[in-house]
Amino acid sequence: MGRRVWITGASAGIGRAVAERLARDGDTVHVSARREDELDALATTVPGRLIPAPLDVTDHDAVQATVARIEERDGPLDLVILNAGTHQPVEAKDFSAADLRKLVELNVMGTASCLEAVMPRMIDRRAGHIAVVASVAGYRGLPTSAYYGATKAALINMVESLRFDLDEAGVRIQIINPGFVETPLTDKNDFAMPFIISTEKAADYIARGLNGSSFEIVFPKRFAAIMKNARLMPYRLYFPAIHKMTGK
């Protein structure tokens, strides 16, 4: 018997690929995003297994209502994957607090609204599984990633902190930290992206990781190892190494 799943940011990229993968594996997957037409098109790929739930995650009340509708329709959610987010490259000369605020509102506060909606329900029944999509860009600063990296660093820290309480409550939480994946978001980057992979390959990594025991799902392995080691580098080595890797 498949799981009851909810995925945000499911209209494109990693979210769409994961939704299709889990639906083909037998899960019933409720898919949310702002673009209703894209969700309807997605639903036709695995008929009966992908259920559109249009939503703007920055609308706090709409998030609460959507979770309530999903659970009223199909029962308690077994797995929630919070993937909604965006990326806006920025150079120092164009840095804007207003633009950063937009990414924080979607990437961080949108995720927080979803967590607020699902965590109490899972805690009350001492069951459930949450996975939050961040990025290896949250490990350390990368070129043109001042907005995006800051939001992903916030998500990593937030999920790490929540794990302590959720472990005691019988609720599982994981962080998903992809490297470079071929999506409309990475198409915005104007620098070399080492070890970039397809969304289908990313979905394979995530599907396996969700069924594994690790707190962090991180991929691709070679780039993840580089970025993990980079966290330990002194700045005098880190900046030249990233410059050489990306050409920035």
Q: Does domain 4-246 have CATH number 3.40.50.720?
A: yes
Q: Are 34 and 8 in contact (CB under 8 A)?
A: no
Predicted pLDDT at 11: 95
Residue 234, burial from CB neighbour count under 10 angstroms (0-12, 13-18, 19+): exposed
Where are the domains positioned within the chain?
Answer: 4-246
In the block, tokens 């037998």 appear at 26
By annotation, the residues acting in catalysis are 148
pTM for the predicted model, two decimal places: 0.93
Give 35's contacts (C-beta < 8 A, 6+ positions apart): 11, 54
Q: At what angle do helices 13-24 and 36-43 cross, to 10 degrees?
A: 30
How many whole angstroms separate alpha carbon 167 and alpha carbon 149?
27
Assess whether the previous peptide bond of 120 is cis (omega < 30° from 0). Answer: no
Tell me: pLDDT of 223 over 90.
Answer: no
**pLDDT by residue (tens digit) across 157-171?**
999 999 999 999 999
